[in-house]
Each structure stands twice: as structure tokens, then as C-alpha cells.
Structure 1
Amino acid sequence: MWSVGLRLSAARCAACLSVLDGEERARSDRFLRAEDRDRFVASHAALRLVLAGFLDADARALAFSTSMTGKPELAGPEVGRLRFNLSHSGGHALVAVSTTARIGVDVEVPRPMPDALRIARAHFHPREVAALAACGRAVEAAFFACWTGKEAFVKAVGAGLSMPLDGFAVAIPPAPPAILEIGGLRAPAAGWTLATLAPAPGLPGAVAIEAPCAACALRRLRPDWADRLPGP
């Protein structure tokens, strides 16, 4: 996993835009706020930079497609070589890469959640709701740990909105991160690793990997990472 800072100068944002393809540029143009557009452009340029480093390729030349459920995948000459996922929130992004297993990542800027238990009761697994209800004053932090873990798993599976959030359960802090059950069964959950990430102080994140006891490392792109992008 790579933690990426997305607050860039105008010149670096322009460098990021120059490596994106037409589809990515069209998506960036649909953002109403310049701040959101810049973060989209920067996060997708960072994804290209990380993947290009793995593949010894030109970041501009990478091609992407989407699965039946909308999950991005490599296309063209690099098809099938890597599994990857991207998440960004606020001024931070996380890029996750695996050479062998499905992988998903999520990061969320925390915000006040006075209705955390109400949201959990409406959408989460009963085991998670019970654990969150026992967290007392720590319920908001535990909620975001639960949320990022669940989002990371859903993104790794690639099921999108078709997977109900109450159909599987993750552990709630202070318990160690883990996927506890999937579809009411513990056996499938044992084939997954769930790990928490802290890309920045107070910023919760999580990664889900379809492999038992998988090792994962969090790295950080240097603040001047956009200067390493290939020129137009």
C-alpha cells in the first residue's frame, strides 16, 4: 500500500492531468468543485505512477477496463499482471497493489457521527452492531474502523452495491482486525486478511486481501511524487 498526499500546486496538478487518458479526463470534468476535480486527477495519476513502477512501464501508456461490477482492471499488454485498488478521501489517497490476490482498500476522513449506532443498526451485521453498542465514548472511532474494513472487503470482492453490508461481519476495535464471517459462515472468512492502516494521524484506513495471514506494508510517496511523472 502507498499513502499519497493529494494537495498539490497548480503546476503539479497539470502534470498529473497530462498522464491521464481521455476517459479519466472526462470523468474529472464532471466534478463541480475544483478541489474535488484536483483530488481525482492527483489520485489517479498517483495510481498510474505506482503501477508503472511495478510494471516497468510508462504511466501514460497504461490502459484500464472495468469488470462486470465496475471494478477497474488493467487492460492491453498488462492485463492480469496486477490486482490493485484506489481510495481517496480529503487530501489523502491509498493505493493497494497485489501480484497474486484480490485486494481492496479504503480511507475515510473522520467526521462527527452522533448517529453512528443508528446507521450501524440500519446497515451493519448484528455482531457489529452489538460490538459498537458496547464501545461507549469510543463508538465513533470504532464506527469508522468498521466502515473502512467493510468497504475494503467489498471493494476487494468487486461486488459493488450488490453486496449487502449486513451479509458479512468484521471485528470491532479493540479486537484485532479480522473478517469474522461471510454469509453466516466462518470458513470463507478464514481465507481473508483484514488490516488497519493509518496513512496519517487520526485518518482511519483498511485493506482486505484474499489470502490468509497475508503480509502487507504501508509506504508513502514523497511529497514531490508528482515531479516523477513523465512529461507530455
Structure 2
Amino acid sequence: MSMRPHEGADADVVHVWLAGDDVPEPALTRMHALLDAEEQRRAAAFLRPDHRRRFIVAHAAARSIVGARLGVPAEQIRWRIGPHGKPSVAGPHPGPDSAPRAGIEVNLSHSGSLCAVAVSATRPVGVDVQRLCPGMDVAAMARRYFAAPEVAFVLADTSPEVRSSRFIRLWARKEAMVKAAGGRLLRGMPVSVLDRSVVDFDDRAHRLADLTAPAGFHAAVALGGDRPYHVVESWWSSR
């Protein structure tokens, strides 16, 4: 794989890669071969080819990035899955009971045609990318899930496009926060992330940052702790 993590990462740097799922079939076949048996089973369970492709690209990218960081082949990476589905790196050796590997934290997300992978040296990390969905009733969704100031922010503009963009931006920030904590999404929905860089969730502080995303998407990253950090953004390619 062509993209290598940047050198000299430390606890206050988070590296985020975005990847499109528009890869040629030969590359997709190579990516599929990097996945372990469970990932291949999950990929095969998708009924829609575009969903299957998105899953394969995201998980192959995560494996390639982590493998490059650890200096091992991507297909040898082993995951340990947390109680709410968050993966941690158990190492290049087999065994579902392996302890999480020290020195690397990873998270991934995919939505629409876009995938995101985030890596931190030691701080818990969460990343989320969301595609804007025309026609979504964001007013009803905001009233159901968001804090009152966030509802007011979403509804303050009459344009459906602006409302959708505001809603998706807040949703991505909440998902990144919850994923950094390894918690449940519904527990994080009432936590206000509007115009805040540090939020408390599950009795822990998390620092949020918006990411640069293509038109039609919003993305965010979160690290555990309230210390500032530097975000390094890159595009990942299978070539």
C-alpha cells in the first residue's frame, strides 16, 4: 500500500486518513485478501455491493496503516473488539484474548463513498464521517436526540441544505466523541458539542476537532483527555 503513517507521532498528534471507495476491482480483491476470516464473513453479509466495497476499503485501509506503523504485514494485524464494538490492536499474533497493544490507538468510519481511519500513539481516539442525506427530516431528528441549544442552531436557518449540514456536523462530532470513549451512541446524543472543543462524556474529558471533508460530507475526530493536539490529515490510496 502506498501511504505510510507520518514519522514522529506522539500522544498529542492524531493522524487521519480519508479514502474513497472508487477502487478498481483488482485493488479491491487485494484489499479483501488482507482481511481476517471474521472481516471477510462480515463483508460477505452485505447484500449491496457498494456497502460491501465500503466495508472492505475501510478495514483494509485500517490494516495497512496500522501494519505500516507497527512494521508488520497488514494481514497479520489482529483486533480485539470492545464491549460496544470499538476495535483495538491486539498485535500481529493470533488469539482473540490478546491484550490491546500499547503504543497505538485506532478507529475507523465509513459513510457514503468515503472512509476515515484515525491513529493516535496513546490517547483513545474516535473518528466519524457522515454523508449529507437529502430529504432527511433533520428537524425531527434534532428534536429527538440533540440538546436544546443544538436544536435551535439546526433550525435557525430555513434552508434545508444548511439545516442538514448543521445537523450532520453535530452528529459526526458526537459519534467521534462516543467512539473515543468506547461507549454507546445513544448515551452521547444528549451531550452538547455545539461550539465546544472539550466535552465531558462518561465522566471523562474528550477534545473534538472538525476535519476537512469533501463537499457533501462532514467528519470529526476526538481524543481522550482535554490536552490540545495537532491533526495531520492525508488521503490514503491502495496504489
Q: Same fold (TM over 0.5)?
A: yes
Matched, 1:91 2:113: yes
Using the TM superposition, give the Cα deviation of residue 92 of structure 1 relative to its aligned residue in structure 2, in angstroms. 1.2
Aligned partner (choices 191, 209, 213) of residue 195 of structure 1: 209
Change over 3 Å in CA distance of 1:164–1:226 after alignment to 2: closer
Change over 3 Å in CA distance of 1:205–1:153 after alignment to 2: same
Aligned partner (choices 192, 197, 200) of residue 178 of structure 1: 197
Change over 3 Å in CA distance of 1:213–1:50 after alignment to 2: same
AA matched with 2:140: R
After superposition, give the CA deviation of every residue in 1:141-189 in whole Å (9 maximum; x if it has no partner): 11111111111111111112462411x1101xxx4x5245547xxxx67
Unaligned runs of 5+ in 2: 1-15, 93-99
After superposition, give the CA deviation of every residue in 1:13-44 in whole Å (9 maximum; x if it has no partner): 10001111101001111001122111111111
Contact 2:180 2:223 in 1 (8 A): yes
How many residue pairs match? The answer is 214
Counterpart CA distance in 1 for 2:163 and 2:53 is: 33
AA matched with 2:107: N
Matched, 1:26 2:41: yes
Using the TM superposition, give the Cα deviation of residue 194 of structure 1 relative to its aligned residue in structure 2, in angstroms. 1.0
> What is the CA RMSD across the aligned residues, in angstroms?
2.0
Moved over 3 A (4+): 179-183
Aligned partner (choices 122, 136, 142) of residue 144 of structure 2: 122
Using the TM superposition, give the Cα deviation of residue 109 of structure 1 relative to its aligned residue in structure 2, in angstroms. 1.3
1:17-96 equivalences under 5 Å are 17-76=32-91, 79-96=101-118
TM-score (normalizing by structure 2): 0.82
1:137-216 equivalences under 5 Å are 137=159, 138-161=162-185, 163-166=187-190, 168-171=191-194, 175=195, 178-180=197-199, 182=201, 191-211=205-225, 212-216=227-231
Counterpart CA distance in 1 for 2:188 and 2:210 is: 21
AA matched with 1:42: V
Unaligned runs of 5+ in 1: 228-232
Counterpart CA distance in 2 for 1:46 and 1:182 is: 29
Counterpart CA distance in 1 for 2:77 and 2:200 is: 36
